[in-house]
């Protein structure tokens, strides 16, 4: 006869095994879809480019050197690749500004939604998700229609006599920023709203009662308590903004290259797959470092829930 | 009772509060006027939905009255936002800031008032001592018990030395024993700080034991304001008599009204002395109330006669329910002794004698 302890242990083992079996298909898909291609990219970044794209199976650190350096064609000396650094910095700057812009626009929106009555809240939530119904490319072209020289904004400005010639917005960094802020705004609003909805508004009343003005209540009570949502929203916006391809291509006109354009170039006309791979992984590392720093910094003064 | 100065801390003048509009509008407060004296422990007592919390929120500034004035030492504060009123609130849910320590919670009001750091620190230490929470100053509010949270909420509201402290059913979330402890604690704090307390509760026992004066509210109106003794022994209206404690209602013919006194002729034919509620309009049949402990059950003939219907033992006393010959119900409360039973049995024919100064004639 097995003792009660043995029976319990066997049951627990069975339980653990069943759980693994049940999650195996999902784990397999995640592993193959996420890790597989990533490994290929990592391997490619250490190979030699082939003459017509593709790779030659020959080890070379050249691609990694080329991420931030360039080799002089004549004397083989290395110098900093100014073009690459500029593109990296421009992309990072744009991603940061996009994150800040969506935060500035999204925070009040989320607050507005969370303070509506329960029924209207669902309606607002629904409205916020409407942009997701259309393809990103189409949405970007819609923005293009609005900001181009013959677009609505310029037509109104001309009609009102505020400007005498159309303002060039399209194909500038401003155009990319407008487009990105529009595209990524819901990704900022939704997590902040989720935090804000859980906020106990009696705490806000308590703040007012204890002589805090509206601004102080926002800074000292509301903001610290919805910080997890702000962090989540910032991450959700920053990562895709750094690697955004469609919006900068369409609205930036390809004049000011972004990271994604640079990477795409290596796999297309550049025929330098290893460099493209090395650049991709470099971007990933930047994102990871930035996120770690951000989360750690935010967590230090942040809220511990529960 | 200590002498209370006659200055009014709060005067509520003809205040109405209407929520909603059109068909769905609800009058939470209907032309309410009341004065709350400086340094008193004033209680708003009533069932849920009577408007007591609405009145408190108007004084705190979370809502604004539809009509009327709220004066704080003579100054109309009704249009001011809550952060401009020298009034603090202890919330029913405590509403402690979860992202701050106990000490930071207590110091929050002073910090917002822009007091110097050293002064805040000293005041927080003083408050922690006052509510006996020194040991837990560095804890998060989620790491302390309900009773401790209650103390922190009190300390936080008292720290900025408000002119008036508002307490919105602060004891309702505590268990019975802790509630008793906190009742005494609250009285002590009020005595030590000398701050005017306005306390909202639906618990009549709490109101009677703690208050200097009580306002009994129902359906957006204040029915009676008075000392616990007034409210209990001299209820003006049926609602007040019924809501506070247990009581017997008898129909009687009233004669000889004058000087706050009258003669009441009961249905049994006996005539007794009674006090009369202010505002009583002479009429044929008035209601007389007699508290169960102010009547005595006898085997002999009394002022009333009837049959014992039911006997309920309560430990300290026994309630004997009697069906009077007139058909009315009457309950007598009799103190228990260890040696003997109550001396009556179900079905006994009994008399009830009503003590002198036991009956009160209601105005409605």
Mean pLDDT across the stretch A217-223? 94
Q: How far is B96 from chain A (nearest CA, A)?
A: 7
Would you say A81 and A68 are in contact if contact means Cβ atoms under 8 Å apart? yes
B325: left (phi over 0), alpha (psi -120 to 50) or beta: alpha
Would you say A71 and A78 are in contact if contact means Cβ atoms under 8 Å apart? yes
Question: CB-hemisphere CA count at 13 Å for B280?
Answer: 30
Using CA coordinates, name the residue in chain B closest to A205: B62
Nearest by CB: A210 against B81, B98, B160 = B160
Q: List, for residues A52-80, the tens digit of each pLDDT value.
A: 878 889 898 888 988 888 887 787 788 88
Nearest by CB: A210 against B81, B98, B112 = B112
Q: List, for residues B139-173, the tens digit of each pLDDT value.
A: 999 899 988 999 999 999 999 999 999 999 998 88
> Crossing angle of helices A273-300/A223-242, nearest 10°?
170
How far, in Å, CA of A187 to CA of A99, rounded?
10
Long-range contacts of range B256-260, CB-CB < 8 Å, 24 or more positions apart?
A: B257/B282
CA A30 → CA A34, A38, A240, B121, B268, distances in Å? 6, 12, 19, 54, 90
Q: List, for residues B40-56, the tens digit of each pLDDT value.
A: 999 999 999 899 999 99
Question: What pTM did the predictor assign?
Answer: 0.81
The 3-class secondary structure across chain B, one letter per residue, is CCCCCCCEEEEEEEEEEEECCHHHCEEEEEEEEEEEECCCEEEEECCCCCCHHHHHHHHHCCCCCCEEEEEECCEECCCCCHHHCCEEEECCCCCCCCCCEHHHHHHHHHHHCCCCHHHHHHHHHHHHHHCCCHHHCCCEHHHCCHHHHHHHHHHHHHCCCCCEEEEECCCCCCCHHHHHHHHHHHHHHHHHHCCEEEEEECCHHHHHHHCCEEEEEECCEEEEEECHHHHHHCCCCHHHHHHCCCCEEEEEEEEEEECCEEEEEECCCCEEEEEECCCCCCCCEEEEEECHHHEEEECCCCCEEEEEEEEEECCCEEEEEEEECCCCEEEEEEECCCCCCCCCCCCCEEEEEECCCCEEECCC
Would you say B47 and B218 are in contact if contact means Cβ atoms under 8 Å apart? yes
Mean pLDDT across the stretch B277-297? 87
Q: How many residues does chain A have?
A: 306
Q: List, for residues B2-29, the tens digit of each pLDDT value.
A: 554 568 999 999 999 999 887 878 889 9
Point out the least confidently predicted range of A112-116, A140-144, B112-116, B283-287. B283-287
What does the pLDDT read at residue B1?
A: 46
How far, in Å, CA of A203 to CA of B280, rounded?
47
What does the pLDDT read at residue A299?
A: 64
How far, in Å, CA of A271 to CA of A294, rounded?
36
Rounded to a whole number of angstroms, the CA Rg of chain B reads 24
CA angle A57, A59, A62 (to 5 degrees): 120
If DSSP codes are grouped into helix, strand and coil, which group holds residue A258?
A: coil
Q: List, for residues A80-106, the tens digit of each pLDDT value.
A: 888 889 999 999 999 999 999 999 999
How far, in Å, CA of B40 to CA of B310, rounded?
42
Q: List, for residues B257-274, the tens digit of each pLDDT value.
A: 888 888 888 888 888 889
Mean pLDDT across the stretch A202-224? 94
How far, in Å, CA of B210 to CA of B204, rounded?
10
What does the pLDDT read at residue A168?
A: 87
What does the pLDDT read at residue A306?
A: 34
What does the pLDDT read at residue A304?
A: 44
Percent of chain A with pLDDT over 90: 46
Q: List, for residues B206-216, the tens digit of each pLDDT value.
A: 999 999 999 99
Query: Partners of B92 in the beta sheet?
Result: none
Using CA coordinates, name the residue in chain B closest to A303: B99
Using CA coordinates, name the residue in chain A closest to B87: A209
- Write the burial class of residue B277 (CB in 10 Å: 0-12 exposed, 13-18 middle, 19+ buried): buried
Q: pLDDT band at B62, cuts 50/70/90?
A: very high
How far, in Å, CA of B292 to CA of B172, rounded?
28
Q: pLDDT band at B91, cuts 50/70/90?
A: very high
How far, in Å, CA of B29 to CA of B51, rounded?
6
Instruction: Provide φ and ψ at A45, rounded to 5°.
Output: -65, -15
How far, in Å, CA of A112 to CA of B64, rounded?
22
The 3-class secondary structure across A38-65, one letter per residue, is HHHHHHHCCCEECECECEECCCCCHHHH
> Tokens 């009509």 map to which residue?
B67
H or E stretch covering A84: helix A82-114
DSSP secondary structure of A2-47: --HHHHHHHHHHHHHHHHHHHHHHHHHHHIIIIIHHHHHHHHHTTS
What does the pLDDT read at residue A55?
A: 86
**Could you tell me the two tokens for B311?**
């006997």
- The one-character DSSP state at A172 is S
Query: Partners of B304 in the beta sheet?
Result: B352
Q: Say if residue A160's pLDDT is above 50.
A: yes
How far, in Å, CA of B17 to CA of B29, rounded?
5
If DSSP codes are grouped into helix, strand and coil, which group holds residue A203?
A: helix
Q: pLDDT band at B327, cuts 50/70/90?
A: confident
Residues of A in contact with B98 (CB under 8 A): 203, 225, 303, 305
Nearest by CB: A216 against B81, B93, B112 = B112
H or E stretch covering A79: strand A78-80
Percent of chain A with pLDDT over 70: 96
CB atoms within 10 A of CB B191: 12
Size of interface A-B (CB pairs under 8 A): 65
How far, in Å, CA of B284 to CA of B253, rounded?
6
Mean pLDDT across the stretch B176-202? 91
Residues of B in contact with A220 (CB under 8 A): 108, 112
Specify the pairing of strand A48-49 against strand A55-56: antiparallel
Question: CB-hemisphere CA count at 13 Å for B240?
Answer: 31
Instruction: Provide φ and ψ at B19, rounded to 5°.
Output: -100, 145
Nearest alpha carbon to residue B165 among B217, B87, B53: B87
Q: Say if residue B239's pLDDT is above 50.
A: yes
Check if B97 contacts A (Cβ < 8 Å). yes
Q: List, for residues A275-305, the tens digit of each pLDDT value.
A: 999 999 999 998 888 888 888 877 655 444 4
Nearest by CB: B160 against A206, A211, A213 = A211
Nearest alpha carbon to residue B302 among B317, B322, B286: B322
What does the pLDDT read at residue A1?
A: 60
What does the pLDDT read at residue B23?
A: 80
- Hey, are the CB atoms on B62 and A206 less than 8 Å from each other? no
How far, in Å, CA of B127 to CA of B121, rounded?
10
**Could you tell me the two tokens for B141?**
């509010």
Residues of B in contact with A215 (CB under 8 A): none
Question: CB-hemisphere CA count at 13 Å for A210?
Answer: 33
Q: Say if residue B312's pLDDT is above 70.
A: yes
Give chain A's mean pLDDT. 88
How far, in Å, CA of B53 to CA of B254, rounded?
38
Q: Say if residue B299's pLDDT is above 70.
A: yes
What ipTM is given for this predicted complex? 0.84
- Hey, are the CB atoms on B88 and A210 less than 8 Å from each other? yes
Residues of A in contact with B60 (CB under 8 A): 209
How far, in Å, CA of A303 to CA of A301, rounded?
7
If DSSP codes are grouped into helix, strand and coil, which group holds residue A78?
A: strand
Check if B245 contacts A (Cβ < 8 Å). no
H or E stretch covering A71: strand A69-71
What does the pLDDT read at residue A302?
A: 46
């Amino acid at each position: 006869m097995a003792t009660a302890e043995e029976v319990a242990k066997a049951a627990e083992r069975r339980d653990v095994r069943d759980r693994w079996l049940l999650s195996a298909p999902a784990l397999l898909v995640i592993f193959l879809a996420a890790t597989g291609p990533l490994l290929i990219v990592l391997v490619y970044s250490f190979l030699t480019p082939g003459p017509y794209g593709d790779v030659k199976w020959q080890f070379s650190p050249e691609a990694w050197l080329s991420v931030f350096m360039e080799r002089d064609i004549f004397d083989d000396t290395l110098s900093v690749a100014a073009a690459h650094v500029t593109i990296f910095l421009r992309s990072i700057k744009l991603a940061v500004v996009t994150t800040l812009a969506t935060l500035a626009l999204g925070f009040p929106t989320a607050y507005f939604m969370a303070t509506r009555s329960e029924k209207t809240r669902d309606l607002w939530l629904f409205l916020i998700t409407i942009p997701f119904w259309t393809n990103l490319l189409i949405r970007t072209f819609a923005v293009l229609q609005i900001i181009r020289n013959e677009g609505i904004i310029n037509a109104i400005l001309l009609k009102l006599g505020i400007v005498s010639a159309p303002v060039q917005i399209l194909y500038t960094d401003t155009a990319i920023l407008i487009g990105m802020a529009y595209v990524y705004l819901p990704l900022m609003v939704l997590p902040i709203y989720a935090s804000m909805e859980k906020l106990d508004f009696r705490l806000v009343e308590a703040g007012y009662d204890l002589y805090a003005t509206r601004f102080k209540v926002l800074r000292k009570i509301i903001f610290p308590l919805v910080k997890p949502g702000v962090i989540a929203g910032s991450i959700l916006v920053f990562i895709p903004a750094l690697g955004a391809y469609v919006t900068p291509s369409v609205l930036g006109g390809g004049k000011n290259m972004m990271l994604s354009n640079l990477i795409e170039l290596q796999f297309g006309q550049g025929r330098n797959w290893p460099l493209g791979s090395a650049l991709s992984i470099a971007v990933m590392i930047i994102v990871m470092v930035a996120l770690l720093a951000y989360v750690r910094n935010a967590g230090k003064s942040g809220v511990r829930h529960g | 009772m200590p002498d209370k100065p006659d200055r009014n801390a709060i005067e509520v003048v003809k205040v109405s509060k209407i929520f909603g509009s059109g068909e769905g509008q609800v009058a939470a407060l209907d032309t309410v006027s009341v004065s709350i004296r400086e340094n008193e422990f004033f209680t708003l007592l009533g069932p849920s939905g009577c408007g007591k919390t609405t009145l408190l929120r108007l004084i705190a500034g979370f809502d604004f009255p539809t009509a009327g004035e709220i004066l704080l030492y003579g100054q109309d504060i009704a249009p001011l936002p809550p952060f401009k009123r020298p009034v603090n609130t202890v919330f029913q849910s405590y509403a402690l800031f979860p992202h701050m320590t106990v000490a930071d919670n207590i110091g929050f009001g002073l910090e917002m008032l822009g007091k110097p750091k050293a002064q805040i620190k000293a005041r927080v230490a003083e408050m922690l001592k006052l509510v006996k929470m020194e040991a837990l100053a560095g804890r998060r509010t989620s790491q302390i018990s309900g009773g401790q949270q209650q103390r922190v909420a009190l300390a936080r509201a008292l720290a900025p030395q408000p002119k008036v402290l508002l307490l919105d059913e602060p004891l309702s979330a505590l268990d019975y024993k802790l509630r008793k402890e906190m009742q005494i604690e609250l009285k002590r704090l009020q005595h030590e700080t000398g701050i005017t307390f306005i306390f909202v509760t639906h618990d009549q026992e709490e109101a009677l034991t703690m208050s200097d004066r009580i306002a009994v509210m129902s359906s957006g109106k204040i029915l009676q304001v008075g000392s616990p003794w007034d409210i209990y022994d001299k209820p003006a209206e049926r609602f007040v008599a019924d809501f506070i404690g247990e009581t017997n209602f008898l129909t009687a013919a009233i004669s000889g009204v004058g000087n706050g006194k009258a003669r009441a002729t009961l249905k049994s034919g006996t005539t007794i002395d009674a006090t009369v509620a202010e505002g009583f309009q002479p009429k044929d049949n008035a209601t007389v109330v007699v508290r169960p402990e102010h009547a005595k059950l006898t085997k002999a003939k009394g002022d009333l006669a009837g049959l014992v219907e039911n006997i309920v033992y309560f430990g300290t006393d026994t309630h004997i329910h009697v069906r009077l010959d007139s058909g009315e119900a009457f309950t007598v409360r009799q103190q228990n002794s260890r040696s003997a039973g109550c001396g009556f049995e179900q079905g006994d024919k009994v008399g009830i004698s009503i003590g002198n100064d036991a009956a009160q004639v209601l105005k409605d």
